[in-house]
Amino acid sequence: MRKLMMLFFCFGVVYVAQPLWAQSGETEGQDVRSLGEIEIQVEEPVKARLLENKLSSDLGEYGQRVQIIDGQTLVDSGYPTLYQALSKLVPGLYFPTNTHSAQIMGDTQMRMNGSTDFLVLLDGVRLNNRLFGRTSSPDVIGVHIVDHVEILSGGEGLFYGTDATGGVINVVTKAATEKKGGSVRLSYGSYNNKDASAYVTGGAGGHKFLIYGHMEDFDGYPIVDDEKVWQNAAFAVPAMLHPIGGREWSQKRYNFGFKYSKEFDLHRPSSGALDFGFFKNDREILTPSPCLNSGKVTPLPSDCSVYDEYVFYETISFLKWSQDITDQYNFSIKFYYHEQWAEQTALRANGVYSAQNTEYGFEDWGIHLMNSFTFEQGTKILFGVEYQNYWGKDDLMRTPATPHEEIVAIYASLRPHFDFWPGWKTSMGLRYTYNKDAKSTIWNVTSKMPFFNDTMYFSSRVGTSFKLPTTSQLFAIPGVPTPTSRTEGNPGLKPQKSMYVNLGLGGKWLYGGFDAYAFWETITDNIRTVTGSGIPMPSVGGNANKYQNMDEKTRQRGYTFNGHLGPYSGLTLSGSITKQVRIVDGKKAEYENLFPEYFGNVNLRWDGNIGDWKTGIGLVNTYTGKMKYEWAAASATASRPASPRAVRSYGDYWISDLNFHVKPNEQLTVSLELSNIFNKQTIYNYQTSRVHLGRVLPIPGGPLDGLQSSDGYYYFGYRNAPFTATLSVTYDF
């Protein structure tokens, strides 16, 4: 019955002609740009609502690097998931190229500002969990319901707390309106990818409602091929251990959402607004898991997984009251709730389940009070209090269920106004966070100065951020979930701290603009495992690898440059390049798997009319730089042959996508999206020791021997998607 109700609402999405970049797109009551001056103009009768709703663009005015991609731009890009669209359209944001969904494998590889530690929000509700870290990707909801996405690059712990070291991604859904309307979309694509979604909005008497539904069913493409790997391995592997061959991952997803809002005209000058949102996100994933044989001479059937199945249940809700008390003082108070539970089933080649409906997950709820007071001369102070209550359990890792724990934080940000230079925006902030196991104080100072008649700007930010240890880092048990798991938790871990410096320079003109941004970050008390520092493990030989706070400093630095020319006669040319480097104890981390040193894109788009039909065509070219992985030499053991030190190189490729849409009338849109049009064979994760395939070497003189390119290691990694096509039809009413 639940799925039938979901299907009732699941039909379509709007494809409205907009430029590929959001620098000049206009939506209802809103001006959204992704380069230069960032602002969102909203016709809002209750200013207190903007404390949170306009926080990101306000931070952009005070020196934070903010990029805002509006929903119509996302839809016009033609990508079936929000994850894919952001990976192609947002400069400086690295996602593995061309993977269909972050929830499969790519989520752990996302990087912003050189860091994997960034925060994901849905309508301002944090989806990162104190115990499990970032458990949800920006792909938490379908593209159809997205109004815009706010991307804040660089540490932003002042307003958002833990996990915001690299930045923040806030996915903002469409608002309920009193005007009746809606949209329906149907899509079908390669590998039997079926997608249907719809939303309806309307109201009366000031009451506004929105109902949304989405269904996705994707059979998937082959992502690993263990049989090919083991047939070319330098040692014998019993045939019974590779019966699967090329294996696909698949996904089914069901979204449902409901929003309500109403404004209240209180005794003037006071006014208020009530907002409520509820989202349900269920997802079923079947994903291959490579054979865990660690290069043994005689692998055991228990070393190979036939498949791993994950079933996710996620609920997100919020209730917010916003009120203007006077022209100078307003506040908003928000109650939020987020829970995510998952069940994993893993079947081994010997017919034994290493996990069977094994549950793990968490429950969060909290209250956030934000206040704003503006002095007569224009100086403003933002201050607030945030309370969070959480608990969770992980039966898969057998870590103890945590009791309900609490975090309390207070913060304040002063924004002075200077009469002698009113265009100069600066702010100074402080946040104190208290937890029974950890306390943290962070600060920042930001500034943005326009010059050349406001056609250019210079921005600067300096401050600190922090990240609390996760439950795995605190409580991981050696020998769990498999007997060969060597990771040991450390309940004595301290929070990981960082200090950052960000500098920006940008400009805009009639037919173009640019944005240059550099970042430096120094991490202290970095949390990572130390080989052999844990308890003895006689069953595998040696000691466990225990999480520790490292004494050495880790530095991350880099830059992003992006710009655009146009639109001129409907044509827009845009591009970006990002460099990111990690330095550990004074040495560049040259061999670092998963993350390229360089990545970027070059895009060309035309928007215009063919006859009476509005038309848009876009070519998106994404570059992923070189990546390497190194493992040390290993001596022979009773179960494993000796292997030399080796370096594997991959990456260094371009992926080209083509998207096209046409509007025969104002209500109907037909779009076609072609991904990886040259069918480039690439991988986004080399089979490292993390999945115990890193020591596999090709047979000397065999067909895979000596291949050093990304194509050569195509059989040794998780594959990016091949050529795919998606056709969509949208009807607005």
Residue 355's closest CA among 399, 287, 309? Answer: 309
C-alpha 335, offset from chain centre: 24
DSSP 622-638: EEEEEEEEEE--B---S
Comparing 12 with 507, the larger pLDDT belongs to 507
Run of H or E residues at 8:
helix 2-9
Q: Which of 207-211, 268-272, 525-529 has the lowest mean pLDDT?
A: 268-272
| Structure tokens, 131 | 């115990």
Range picked from 150-154, 286-290, 313-317 for highest mean pLDDT: 313-317
Comparing 645 with 527, the larger pLDDT belongs to 527
pLDDT at 1 over 70: no
Looking at the DSSP assignment, which residues form a beta bridge with residue 260? Answer: 209, 276
Q: What number of other Cβ atoms are within 10 A of residue 33's Cβ?
A: 22
Residue 216's closest CA among 285, 164, 170? Answer: 285
Residue 331 binned pLDDT confidence (cut-offs 50, 70, 90): very high
Share of the chain above pLDDT 90, in %: 33
Q: Which of 1-15, 43-57, 254-268, 420-434 has the lowest mean pLDDT?
A: 1-15
Q: Are 422 and 394 in contact (CB under 8 A)?
A: no
| Cα separation values, 397 from 63, 132, 370, 588, Å | 42, 12, 38, 33
d(CA 16, CA 666): 9
At residue 117, the pLDDT reads: 79
pTM score, two decimals?
0.84
Comparing 352 with 97, the larger pLDDT belongs to 352
Q: Which residue has the tokens 């079908």?
A: 188
Range picked from 104-118, 147-161, 179-193, 684-698 for highest mean pLDDT: 179-193
Residue 701 binned pLDDT confidence (cut-offs 50, 70, 90): low
Ramachandran class of 504: left when φ > 0, alpha when ψ lies in -120 to 50, beta otherwise: beta
Residue 476 binned pLDDT confidence (cut-offs 50, 70, 90): confident
At residue 642, the pLDDT reads: 59
At residue 713, the pLDDT reads: 47
pLDDT at 574 over 90: yes
At residue 91, the pLDDT reads: 85
pLDDT at 261 over 80: yes
Residue 631 binned pLDDT confidence (cut-offs 50, 70, 90): low
Torsion angle (degrees, nearest 10) of CA 469, 472, 477, 479 = -140
Q: For Cα atoms 566, 171, 208, give the angle at the middle one, nearest 5 degrees.
A: 105
In sequence order, which ranges of 225-350 are alpha helices (DSSP H)?
226-231
pLDDT in tens, 439-462: 889 999 999 999 998 899 999 999
pLDDT at 61 over 60: yes
Q: Are 282 and 253 in contact (CB under 8 A)?
A: yes
At residue 265, the pLDDT reads: 84
Run of H or E residues at 61:
helix 55-61
Comparing 315 with 29, the larger pLDDT belongs to 315
Range picked from 26-40, 412-426, 534-548, 580-594 for highest mean pLDDT: 412-426
Q: Which domain holds residue 153?
A: 2-732
At residue 70, the pLDDT reads: 86
| Structure tokens, 7 | 């299907």
Ramachandran class of 566: left when φ > 0, alpha when ψ lies in -120 to 50, beta otherwise: left
At residue 412, the pLDDT reads: 96
Question: What mean pLDDT is predicted for residues 547-557?
Answer: 88
At residue 277, the pLDDT reads: 96
Ramachandran class of 594: left when φ > 0, alpha when ψ lies in -120 to 50, beta otherwise: left
Three-state SS at 716: helix
pLDDT in tens, 394-443: 887 777 667 788 999 999 999 999 888 888 999 999 999 998 877 889 99
Structural domain count, the chain = 1
Looking at the DSSP assignment, which residues form a beta bridge with residue 549? Answer: 527
d(CA 595, CA 111): 8
What CATH code is carried by the domain that includes residue 8?
2.40.170.20
pLDDT at 27 over 60: no
Q: What number of other Cβ atoms are within 10 A of residue 204's Cβ?
A: 9
- Average per-residue pLDDT for the chain: 78
Residue 558 binned pLDDT confidence (cut-offs 50, 70, 90): very high
pLDDT at 186 over 80: yes
pLDDT at 48 over 70: no
